[in-house]
Structure formats: C-alpha cells, structure tokens
Amino acid sequence: MTPTSSAQPRVNRLLLTGAAGGLGKVLRQRLGQYADILRLSDISQLEPASGPHEEVVPCDLSDKAAVHALVEGVDAILHFGGVSVERPFEEILGANISGTFHIYEAARRHGVKRVVFASSNHVIGFYKQDQELDALSPRRPDGYYGLSKSYGEDMASFYFDRYGIETVSIRIGSSFPEPQNRRMMSTWLSFDDLTQLLEKSLFTANVGHTIVYGMSDNAKVWWDNRYAAHLGFHAKDSSEVFRDKVEAQPPVAANDPAAVYQGGAFVAAGPFE
C-alpha cells in the first residue's frame, strides 16, 4: 500500500477475477482509484486494456498453472470469478472449488497478503426470512453454489491461520442496479455501497478473516454486521427508494421459497439429474 497526496490508499497492482461478469464490468470502471494497475481476468472475453493502467489476462480458474501465472506480481486480489448461480456440482467444482484453492495457493506462493472473496448470501440461504443472523451463525448453504462459497470461506480462514493471508469474505446479498423483487428489498447492495465495502476490505488493517454481509442500508434486513464493525463500512443507499416499483409486481404466494427463505428460489433449484 502506498500513501498518496490525496490520502486515498492504493496498491500497485490489483487483480480482479470475474472481470467480464456483471459486477466485474461495474468494478472495472470504479477500481482505478485504488490501484496504479488493474489486472483484469476472466474465462470470457474481456474488452482490451484501455491504457497502461489496465492489464487483461485471460485465465480459467480451474487451471492451476494459469492461475499461478495470473497472480504473479499482484499486491491484492478481488476474487469475483466463478459460477455465480446454482448449477450441477461438476460445473461448480472446477471454477469455484478448485478455482478458489488455486487463487489461495498462488497468493501463498507469490506472497500476496490480502484477498477479498466474493462470497454469497447463499451460504446461509436455508434460513427463513424471519431469522436474524450474524457472522457466527452456523451456515446453511442452499445448494452446490452456496456450498462452494462456504468452502471458499473455510479456505480463507485456513490460509489466514496457516499462512497469515488476510481475507474479507463479503456475503453479497443482491448487487444489481436496483432490487428486482420483494426479497431483494432486504438483500440489495448498491454498486456504490459495494465499492465502499471493497475499499474498506482492501485497506483496513488486521482483518484476519472477516465475514461481512454485503447489503445496503435497507429498511428491513436479516443480517447483523456486528462482527465486521472494524471495517468501518457504513452503507449509504437503501432499497426503500424502489419500494413502489417493486410492490407493483404481482404478489408472491406466502409459501413460495422466494417469500420464505433468505436464499429465495435458489433453495428449490435442482436436482439436476
């Protein structure tokens, strides 16, 4: 980390995996303030580097040697790449489970000391929407995808305890331009609030392995971030401004998973064969 005259902390080279994805494209526009060089990676096609402040490095996260090369020379990693919805286990295995192992092994071997892991609310998706959780609540993954994020959090915990690599695991709720349904009135995370949370996750000292729920300052939430208070994250946006639009949608049956479980429809995905 190098201080600048504007007092905005920066790293020299910051790696973003999943850079071709929905959040990756948004973050590509926003992370320049935190790094001299942004290294952008994905298995899918990326726009070419727009200048010397960007490096584009295609990589399949399931390829250990390729990930090792990808991580060389970076100072911190925002790990957003992988399968982002419920899919058959075999699809998730390579990208998410092996992929996250490859990221941590490469971090260890190259001496990278800070990772921000895009975890998900689906590690606790089988809790009901009337239950309040914190970071110490036992996990209840709602599918293979949620299980892969749960494994990623355990990987983060192990690599801190064993090798001192610090991670903030952000259990992202629903990060889209707007909440898309009633459930997302509770889970929505605005792009501005996500960006603030990434800044805190990158530059707060001594985070060890911190788990934080990624949500905006929504009126009704299910998650308590008391164990992540040291990050100093204070969401500024609220889903409330979209309430009329969301409530104009047809009502959801009271027994629909979307209205019952924190993970919504993910709990009912599968079986796949």
**Residue 272: Cβ within 10 Å count:** 11
Cα 151 to Cα 76, 173, 187, 215, 254: the distances in Å are: 20, 18, 22, 21, 32
Q: Nearest residue by C-beta to ligand 15L? A: 174
Please give the size of the binding site for ligand 15L, defined by CB under 6 A: 8
The nearest distance, CB 231 to ligand 15L, in angstroms, is: 20
Q: Does 17 bind ligand 15L (CB under 6 A)?
A: no
Cβ–Cβ under 8 Å, residues 151 and 100 = yes
Going by C-alpha positions, the residue among 65, 189, 171 that lies closest to residue 124 is 171
Residues in a beta bridge with 76: 14
> Do residues 145 and 92 touch, judged by C-beta distance below 8 A?
yes
CB of 103 to ligand 15L, least distance (A): 17
Residues between 168 and 197 with contacts to ligand NAI, criterion CB under 6 A:
172, 174-175
Choice from 41, 121, 210, 218 touching ligand 15L (CB under 6 A): 121
Q: Does 201 help bind ligand NAI (rule: CB under 6 A)?
A: no
Residue 134 or 161 having the CB closest to ligand NAI: 134
Query: CA 43, CA 60: separation in Å to the nearest integer?
Result: 5
Q: Under rule CB under 6 A, which residues in 101-160 are in contact with ligand NAI?
A: 118, 120
Which listed option, ligand NAI, ligand 15L, none, makes contact with residue 187 (CB within 5 to 8 Å by class)? ligand 15L
> Helix, strand, coil proportions of the chain in percent (round to 5)?
40, 20, 45
Binding mask 55-84 for ligand NAI (x = CB under 6 A): ----xxxx-----------------xxxxx
Tell me which DSSP letter residue 49 carries: P
Interactions with ligand 15L, residue window 133-192 (CB under 6 A): 174, 184, 187
The catalytic position among 34, 145, 159, 261 is 145
HSE on the CB side for 182, CA within 13 Å? 17
* Contact call for residues 31 and 38 (beta carbons, < 8 A): yes
Q: Segment 20-59, which members bind ligand NAI (CB under 6 A)?
A: 20-24, 42-44, 59
Give catalytic status of residue 127 as yes or no: no
Binding stretches for ligand 15L (CB under 6 A): 84-85, 120-122, 174, 184, 187
What residues are annotated to the active site? Answer: 145
